[in-house]
A = this chain, B = another copy of it.
Amino acid sequence: MAAPRNDSFLRALLRQPTDHTPIWLMRQAGRYLPEYCATRRRAGSFLQLCKSPAMACEVTLQPLERFPLDAAILFSDILTVPDAMGLGLYFADGEGPKFERPVRSEAAIHALRAPDPHDELRYVVDAVSEIRRALDNSVPLIGFSGSPWTLASYMVEGGASDDYRHLKTLMLDRPDLLHHLLGVTAQAVTDYLNAQIEAGAQAVMIFDSWGGALSAHGYLEFSLAYMQRIIAGLKREHDGERVPVIMFTKGGGQWLEAQAEAGADALGLDWTTDIGLARQRVGHKVALQGNFDPTALFAQPASIAREAERILDSFGPHPGHVFNLGHGISQHTPPEHVSALVEAVHRHSRSIRAAAGV
């Protein structure tokens, strides 16, 4: 397989020059698109949609047919891994994801095993292969997983939480048990991402959605250390092409210096961090991905363009920026506002390169 015809996303992750700033959007295949809702209705449920490689492929491609995005991302869910560990993922109406068997006792934690991605997670690996074929080398495909800390939050709490009470109590009272849980989960994520890479994912991203709920020292010990371990175990080259790794801790803007040492090629930023200052803080160690506030997509197109330009101007005309949101897109976003954002990023990033003579 050759490099994609539009390789701006991969080049930007490796801090190589591009003629525009590439853009993709977290959760770009999602409920704000009527065509996604139609496929999901046909699938019967969100989980059945995830578990059907053909339908996962279909929704992965939908946003690319509407918008000139520079990358595709595998349609899946971060909770496929603990589901494959036997915790029993289900979605209660209007309540988000839940596990039938949360993991809290010493016995339950010691019984955890890393699943074989070619067995219990075969449907994801098959989806990656199918999407790669369908993309036909137009744009690169991103694979992904949740971080061990973020997966642990659902595994221990049994679902979403606003204070992570059980998880944090385990962390403080029995750090040995939590370290065991995180170690097994890190192995599972490493195997899972490597299987995605072998199936054709051209970059991978680790979503640490809830790392920002930790104290500074807790983050280093219970979240960052395990992402670093995963990154060290990833295949970084496949089919003769480098496979870049993006690490994103939402709410982690205070810890960028430590993140830049973890071995990732790029760091994700939510919208609370000034991307120009972030670039100064991490130097030339990593590329940066972000960081438009998804709620700003409810404003008028002219306001959206102004906010996008502010981010591009703050980063400057240098290589190493992938434009994205700072969090997943809201289901209530008007699709035409996404068009306005993509257009503004492509247009303005070309014009600042021209003005800088690069």
- By a beta-carbon cutoff of 8 Å, the part of chain A in contact with chain B is 163-165, 168-169, 172-173, 212-217, 219, 251, 253-254, 271-274, 277, 293-296, 298-300, 303-304, 306-307, 310, 330, 332
- A274 x B217 contact (CB < 8 A): yes
Instruction: Identify A272's interface contact among B164, B215, B273, CB under 8 A.
Output: B215
Q: Which residues of B contact A295 (CB under 8 A)?
A: 163-165, 168-169
- B165 x A273 contact (CB < 8 A): no
Excluding A168-B299, A212-B272, A216-B272, 13 further A-B contacts by CB distance (< 8 Å) are: A163-B294, A164-B295, A168-B293, A169-B299, A172-B296, A172-B304, A173-B303, A214-B272, A215-B274, A217-B274, A217-B310, A251-B272, A254-B273
Q: Which residues of B contact A219 (CB under 8 A)?
A: 272
**Could you show 29 A-B contacts with beta carbons less than 8 Å apart?**
A163-B295, A165-B298, A165-B330, A165-B332, A168-B293, A168-B295, A168-B296, A168-B299, A169-B295, A169-B298, A169-B299, A172-B303, A172-B304, A172-B307, A173-B299, A173-B300, A212-B272, A213-B272, A214-B272, A215-B271, A215-B274, A216-B274, A216-B277, A217-B274, A217-B310, A219-B272, A251-B272, A253-B254, A254-B272
* Number of copies of this kind of chain in the complex: 2
A216→B214 CA distance, assembly (Å) = 21
Query: Which residue from chain B places its CB closest to the CB of A326 in the assembled complex?
Result: B215
A173→B296 CA distance, assembly (Å) = 10
Instruction: Identify A163's interface contact among B272, B300, B306, B330, CB under 8 A.
Output: B330
Q: Which residues of B contact A296 (CB under 8 A)?
A: 168, 172
- A168 x B298 contact (CB < 8 A): yes
A293→B163 CA distance, assembly (Å) = 10
Q: How far is the CB of A316 from chain B (nearest CB, A)?
A: 16
Q: A172-B303, A272-B215, A300-B173 are in contact. Are A254 and B254 (CB under 8 A)?
A: yes
A251→B270 CA distance, assembly (Å) = 12
A293→B172 CA distance, assembly (Å) = 11
A216→B276 CA distance, assembly (Å) = 11
Q: A254-B254, A272-B254 are in contact. Are A293 and B169 (CB under 8 A)?
A: no
Query: Which residue from chain B places its CB closest to the CB of A300 in the assembled complex?
Result: B173
Query: Which residue from chain B places its CB closest to the CB of A302 in the assembled complex?
Result: B173
Instruction: Identify A273's interface contact among B169, B216, B300, B306, CB under 8 A.
Output: B216
Query: Which residue from chain B places its CB closest to the CB of A310 in the assembled complex?
Result: B217
A217→B273 CA distance, assembly (Å) = 9
Q: Which residues of B contact A332 (CB under 8 A)?
A: 165
